């Protein structure tokens, strides 16, 4: 079965320092993986996705993620945090259910950015 | 690209009252549609998904039901709300392939008192 584990419920960084949000996945086949961001009381927005093309995926707002099959990881990084990056981040893997594709969300990581 | 509309934005309802949340989609046809619930401080829980008109699949047993009367309309309902139904409800649409992005609506904040 497909699943994702977000290893940290909260990550706290100072503005201008690097960001690392960790995600490990479990999948019986080559997965599609996504990162979404949610600002307070808002819907979710796609940051980036991996769909078996390049293993280093660049997204919006300077974020990127690297698909590492040997480590079953898809960690999200950014070289320099900005105050506006403070939000909830979700790692998602797609599972197949019959003929449908069902997103499975991690529990989320809250990114806190200090001035 | 797709635009998802949800209403109402916020709702306060007493225990035992009925519920109807509506989601409509623009900019696409025959999408997969999803209802999620997000409880305070927790991740997203998939409640229902639909691959077409009148086709509803439930991911978890609960007090809620869903319907899809039109291609781009998805409704979440309850006959009698429970306190545990409180949360942030998100509607989303996606394509028919496993590599497709999901597009989310702005959500409805439901408080059951």
For residue B41, what pLDDT is reported?
Answer: 65
pLDDT band at A32 (very low <50, low <70, confident <90, very high): confident
A87 and chain B in contact, CB less than 8 A: no
Report CB contact under 8 Å: B99, A45. no
pLDDT band at B96 (very low <50, low <70, confident <90, very high): low
A45 and chain B in contact, CB less than 8 A: yes
- Name the minimum distance, in Å, from the CA of B59 to any CA of chain A: 10
What's the whole-number mean pLDDT along residues B31-38?
92
For residue B98, what pLDDT is reported?
Answer: 66
B97 and chain A in contact, CB less than 8 A: yes
More confident residue, B40 or A51: A51
B90 and chain A in contact, CB less than 8 A: yes
What domain range is B14 assigned to?
3-96+104-112
Give the angle subtended at the CA of A36 by the CAs of B39 and B31, to the nearest 5°: 90
As for how many domains chain B has, the answer is: 1
- Has residue A63 got a pLDDT over 90? yes
Report CB contact under 8 Å: B101, A102. no
- pLDDT, tens digit, 9 for 90 and up, residues B40-74: 767 788 999 999 999 999 887 678 999 999 999 99
For residue A101, what pLDDT is reported?
Answer: 79
pLDDT band at A21 (very low <50, low <70, confident <90, very high): very high
Residue B69: burial class (beta carbons within 10 Å; 0-12, 13-18, 19+): exposed
**Judging by DSSP bridges, how do beta strands B65-70 and B73-78 pair with one another?**
antiparallel
What's the whole-number mean pLDDT along residues B77-83?
95
Report CB contact under 8 Å: A105, B44. yes
Give the nearest partner residue to B106 out of A43, A51, A107, using CB atoms. A43
Give the nearest partner residue to B107 out of A32, A43, A103, using CB atoms. A43
B25 and chain A in contact, CB less than 8 A: no
Give the nearest partner residue to A90 out of B34, B44, B88, using CB atoms. B44
- Has residue A92 got a pLDDT over 70? yes
For residue A54, what pLDDT is reported?
Answer: 85
Domains assigned to chain A: 1-6+18-30+44-87 (2.60.40.10)
Percent of chain B at pLDDT exceeding 90: 69
More confident residue, A77 or A29: A77
- pLDDT, tens digit, 9 for 90 and up, residues A33-46: 999 999 987 888 99
Residue A44's beta-bridge partner residues?
A38
Taking the CA atoms of residue A91, residue B32, residue B10 and residue B80 in that order, the dihedral angle to the nearest 10 degrees is -110
One DSSP character per residue, A28-93 reads SS---EEEEEE-TTS-EEEEEEE-SS-SEEE-GGG-EEEEETTTTEEEEEESS--GGG-EEEEEEE
Report CB contact under 8 Å: B99, A97. no
Report CB contact under 8 Å: A42, B46. no
Give the domain CATH number at B84.
Answer: 2.60.40.10
What's the whole-number mean pLDDT along residues B88-104?
83
Taking contacts as CB-CB distances below 8 angstroms, the residues of chain B near A33 are none
């Amino acid at each position: 079965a497909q699943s994702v584990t977000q290893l940290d419920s909260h990550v706290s960084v100072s503005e201008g320092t690097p960001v690392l949000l960790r995600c490990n996945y479990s999948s019986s086949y080559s997965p599609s993986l996504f990162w979404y961001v949610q600002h307070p009381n808002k819907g979710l927005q796609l940051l980036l996705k991996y769909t078996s093309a390049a293993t280093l995926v660049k997204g919006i707002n300077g974020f990127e993620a690297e698909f590492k099959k040997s480590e079953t990881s898809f960690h999200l990084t950014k070289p320099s945090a900005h105050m506006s990056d403070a939000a909830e981040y979700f790692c998602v893997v797609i599972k197949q259910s019959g003929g449908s594709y069902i997103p499975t969300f991690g529990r989320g990581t809250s990114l806190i950015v200090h001035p | 690209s797709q635009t998802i509309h949800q209403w109402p934005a916020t709702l306060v309802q007493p225990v035992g009252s009925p519920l109807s949340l509506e989601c409509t989609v623009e900019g696409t046809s025959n999408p997969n549609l999803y209802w999620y619930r997000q409880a305070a401080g927790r991740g997203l829980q998939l409640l229902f998904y639909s691959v077409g008109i009148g086709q509803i699949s439930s991911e978890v047993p609960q007090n809620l039901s869903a319907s899809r009367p039109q291609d781009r309309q998805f409704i979440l309902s309850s006959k009698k709300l429970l306190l545990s139904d409180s949360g942030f409800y998100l509607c989303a649409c996606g394509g028919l392939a496993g590599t497709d992005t999901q597009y989310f609506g702005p959500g409805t904040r439901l408080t059951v008192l």
